[in-house]
Structure 1
Amino acid sequence: MKDYKNILIIKMSSLGDIIHALPTLYALRKNLPNAKITWAIHEQFAGLLPGKPWVDEVIIIDKKQLKLFGYLKQLYTDLRGRHFDMTLDLQCLAKSAIVSWLSGAPEKYGYWELREGSQFVNKALVGKHQYDHVIERYLDTVRQLGGSVDTIEFPLPSDATCYQHVVDMLGSEGIQDDYVLVAPGARWTVKEWPVLSFAELCNRLCQEGRKVVLMGAKDDLGKSQSIVDAVQSNNLVNLTGKTTMPELIELIRHCSLYISADTGPLHIANGLKKPLIALFGTTSPERTGPYGGDYIHLVISPTSKATPENPLIDDPECMAQITVDQVWDVYKAL
Structure 2
Amino acid sequence: MNTVKASTKQLNILVEIMHGLGDTVCALALLKGVRYLYPDAKLTVLCKMKSGRDIIESSYISIDKIIVLDVYKNIYTSFKTIMNLRKQNFDIGISAGITPVKKSQLFMKLCGVKEHIGFQASGTNKYDYNMHFVEANVKTLGLEFNDELRPQLYVDTDSDKSICHYFDGLDQARPIIGLCIGNADPSLTNRWLRTGRVFPKAWGITRMRELIKLLVNKDYQVVLIGGNQEKPLLEELHEFLGLSKVVNLVGKCSIKQSMAAIKRCTCSIGIDTGMQHIAGALSVPTISIFGPTNPKYIGPFSTCSYFVEHEVSCKYCYGTDRYIHCKDRRCLTEISPQQVMDIVERVLEKIFIDIEL
How high is the TM-score relative to the length of structure 2? Answer: 0.79
* Residue of structure 1 aligned with 2:166, choices 149, 169, 175: 169
- How does 1:58-69 map onto structure 2 within 5 Å? 58-64=66-72, 67-68=75-76
Counterpart selection for 2:84 from 78, 87, 100: 78
State the match for 2:308 in structure 1: 299
Equivalent in the alignment of 1:287? 297
* Residues 1:34 and 1:306: Cα distance change in structure 2 (over 3 Å): farther
Q: Distance in 1 between matches of 2:118 and 2:70?
A: 21
Counterpart of 1:118?
Answer: none
2:179 corresponds to: 182
Question: CA–CA distance in 1 between the matches of 2:311 and 2:155?
Answer: 38
What is the 5 A alignment of 1:138-153? 138-143=137-142, 147-151=143-147, 152-153=149-150
Match of 2:218 in 1: 208
Confirm or deny: 8 A CA contact 1:132 1:308 kept in the other structure.
Answer: no
Q: Cα–Cα, structure 1 residues 53 and 160, in superposed 2: closer, same or farther, change >3 Å? A: same
Q: Take 1:306 and 1:127, find their aligned partners in 2: how far apart are those partners?
A: 20
1:92 counterpart residue number? 99
Alignment of 1:132-281 (within 5 A): 132-143=131-142, 147-151=143-147, 152-171=149-168, 174-175=169-170, 177=172, 178-185=175-182, 186-188=184-186, 189-229=199-239, 233-281=243-291
Unaligned runs of 5+ in 1: 115-121
Give 2:296's aligned amino acid: E
Contact 1:127-1:140 at 8 Å conserved across structures: no
Aligned-pair distance for 1:142?
Answer: 1.6
Query: 1: distance between equivalents of 2:242 and 2:335?
Result: 24
Match of 1:20 in 2: 26
Deviation at 1:75, TM superposition (A): 2.6
1:206-244 deviation line (CA, Å, top 9, x unaligned): 222221011111111122331242676321121111111
Letter in 1 for 2:334: Q
Cα pair distance change 1:13/1:28, threshold 3 Å = same
- CA–CA distance in structure 2, aligned partners of residues 128 and 301 of structure 1: 23
CA displacement at 1:157 relative to structure 2: 4.8
Q: 1:2 aligns with which of 1, 6, 10?
A: 6
After TM superposition, the structure 1 stretch with the greater mean CA deviation from structure 2, 311-320 or 101-110, is 311-320
What's the offset of the Cα at 1:254? 2.1
Residues in 1 aligned to 2:232 and 2:74: alpha-carbon distance in whole angstroms = 33
- Out of 38, 46, 54, the position equivalent to 2:53 is 46
Shift of 1:83: 2.5
Q: Does the C-alpha gap of structure 1 residues 251 and 201 become closer, same or farther in structure 2, counting only changes over 3 Å?
A: same
Contact 1:7 1:84 in 2 (8 A): yes
- Kept after mapping to 1: 8 A contact 2:93/2:113: yes
Quick one: percent identity of the two aligned structures? 24
Question: Aligned-pair distance for 1:37?
Answer: 1.6
After TM superposition, give the deviation of residue 96 of structure 1 in Å: 4.9
Which whole-Å CA distance do the structure 1 matches of 2:165 and 2:128 have between them? 44
Task: Please state whether the residue corresponding to 2:129 is helix, strand or coil.
Answer: coil
How far, CA to CA, are the matches of 1:216 and 1:67 in structure 2? 29
Task: Pick which of 77-86 and 33-42 moved more.
Answer: 77-86
**Contact kept? 2:31, 2:61, Cα under 8 Å:** no
**1:310, CA displacement in angstroms?**
4.6
Structure 1 residue aligned with 2:191: none
CA distance in 1, matches of 2:41, 2:124: 20
Unaligned runs of 5+ in 2: 187-198, 348-357
Amino acid at match of 2:141: V
User: Compared with structure 1, are the counterparts of its residues 16 and 304 closer, same or farther at alpha carbon in structure 2 (3 Å cutoff)?
Assistant: farther
Residues of 1 paired with 2:134 and 2:243: CA distance? 39
State the shift of 1:86 in Å: 0.5
Instruction: Note if contact 2:293-2:318 (Cα within 8 Å) is conserved in structure 1.
Output: no
Q: 1:62: Cα distance to partner?
A: 4.2
Give 3-state SS (helix, strand or coil) of 2:200's partner: helix
The 3 A distance-change label for structure 1 pair 78 and 155 is: farther
Higher mean Cα deviation, 132-141 or 95-104? Answer: 95-104
Q: Which AA in structure 2 matches 1:46?
A: R
CA RMSD in angstroms, aligned pairs only: 2.8
State the SS of the aligned residue for 2:269: strand
